[in-house]
Amino acid sequence: MMSLMLGRQSVKVLCSILLPSCTHAPTEMYQPDKNKEPHMTLEELEGEYRPSQSATSSSFGSKLRYGVLVSVSLIALIIMLIYLVRSYWDEDQDLLESVTEVVATPTSALSTAPPLTSTQSHLVDPSFPPIESGNRQDDQGKSTQKKTVTAKKTQLSDAEKAAAAEVKRLLAITAPTSLPLPELESSDDLFRKQWVRLWSGTDVVDGTKTEQLVRKATVLLDNFAQGKIVRNSLSTLSLKSPFAVDLVQPETNEQDSVDVFQLNPKSYQRYSPIVTAITAVETHQIIRFYRQFRPLLQEAYKELGYPAGGIDDVVLTTLQKIQTAPIVEGEIRLIQPKVMYEFQNQNLEQRSALDKQLIRMGPANTRLLQQKARELELVLSQVLK
């Protein structure tokens, strides 16, 4: 900085000495005398407009002085730059010599030497952190946050890879057989054969006594998705025991009095074989069966008169409704105003037909079916993507 100020002062001094000499009045050119006669000879005109010898000499001297001024200024600027570079070079050499002396100092000498500055201690031992301001801690905090975000991204990437691998595996194990599908009208034989194979030949669900199986299965799924149950659509279910109730309060002579019954827990057991069979079948086997007959089920669904949507949405909606059915523990009371039993609790009676059917199956069976429905929905939603 001191060198720069000295250089500027030198330039100012040179300019003050040389510039005034250049601020002379412009060279006077000859101006013709307007009082003279307008009629002149050629020699006289040349004499009038020819510059004098003194004017020519003055112009040459001005150019010379200007050239000297520029040359001197350039020389001063160069000298100033050389001085600045030399001063910075000397400072660097002094710093390098001090560092070299510190590094070459023995350990015993360092123990008795005065404490090193933060810069010197960092140069001697890079592992020793120099004394810094709080910005260093902020930088370390930001670096830690960046590492955490990077780790989370890596974990998310690994989770996505695992999910993709699981979907690939599910697609492989649920792939339908290569058997060609028949027309919808003649699909009973193949559907019945695959249905029996799915249930391992059990007689829980008897599919040999009915026709138009694909269409009836489609109607059953559509009703379930709407929370409905058509009684004749469940005629294929083989229930080994009757519906059991116990009378707890006989009818009285009062108006609107009816018998009050309690649902016997033994009634839950007649659904247990069906629930056991459904939960025993592997989830991927059920999905494979559905994927094999999916085109025929979609065709049958279109026959019901739905212009939009598909059988996939119907199946997923049915699985979701099963999962949201209420679980009723304890005593369940019924009334029989006419032929059919009804729930005495109107909150239960106002539920959908699907919910009431699951309630009559008992809390244990309902939980098992909900767990299976949850597995089927998870796998099917991944496969259908």
Three-class secondary structure assignment of 175-230: CCCCCCCCCHHHCHHHHHHHHHHHCCCCCCECCCCCCCHHHHHHHHHHHHHCCCCC
Whether residue 309 is contained in a domain is answered as yes
Whether residue 155 is contained in a domain is answered as no
Whether residue 198 is contained in a domain is answered as yes
Q: How far apart are the first and last CA of the chain?
A: 72
Whether residue 31 is contained in a domain is answered as no
**Looking at the structure, do residues 119 and 188 belong to the same domain, yes or no?**
no
**Looking at the structure, do residues 258 and 111 belong to the same domain, yes or no?**
no
Asked if residue 263 has pLDDT above 90, the reply is yes
Helix (H) or strand (E) holding 311: helix 311-323
| DSSP labels, 123-174 | HH-TTSPPP--HHHHHHHHHHHHHHHHHHHHHHHHHHHHHHHHHHHHHHHHT
Whether residue 51 is contained in a domain is answered as no
Say if residue 161 is exposed, middle or buried (CB neighbours under 10 Å; 0-12, 13-18, 19+): exposed
| DSSP labels, 367-385 | HHHHHHHHHHHHHHHHHH-
DSSP 344: S
On average, the pLDDT of the chain sits at 74
> Which of 77, 104, 124 is the endpoint of a domain?
124
**Looking at the structure, do residues 75 and 223 belong to the same domain, yes or no?**
no
23: confidence class by pLDDT, cuts 50, 70, 90:
very low
**Looking at the structure, do residues 90 and 190 belong to the same domain, yes or no?**
no
Whether residue 196 is contained in a domain is answered as yes
Please give the tally of structural domains in the chain. 2
Amino acid at 243: F
Residue 72, pLDDT score: 77
Helix (H) or strand (E) holding 266: helix 266-269
Residue 315 structural domain: 184-384
**Looking at the structure, do residues 224 and 305 belong to the same domain, yes or no?**
yes
289: confidence class by pLDDT, cuts 50, 70, 90:
very high
- How much is the pTM? 0.57
Whether residue 135 is contained in a domain is answered as no
Of the chain, the percentage scoring pLDDT greater than 70 comes to 60
**Looking at the structure, do residues 83 and 226 belong to the same domain, yes or no?**
no
CA distance 145 to 155: 15
The mean-pLDDT minimum among 12-21, 143-152, 276-285 falls in 12-21
What residues have CB less than 8 Å from 279, skipping those under 6 apart? 368, 369, 371, 372
Query: Could you report the per-residue pLDDT of 123-133, keeping only the tens digit for each?
Result: 444 444 444 44
Query: Could you report the per-residue pLDDT of 195-223, keeping only the tens digit for each?
Result: 888 887 565 666 556 789 999 999 999 99
Whether residue 146 is contained in a domain is answered as no
**Looking at the structure, do residues 210 and 331 belong to the same domain, yes or no?**
yes
> Which of 75, 92, 124 is the endpoint of a domain?
124
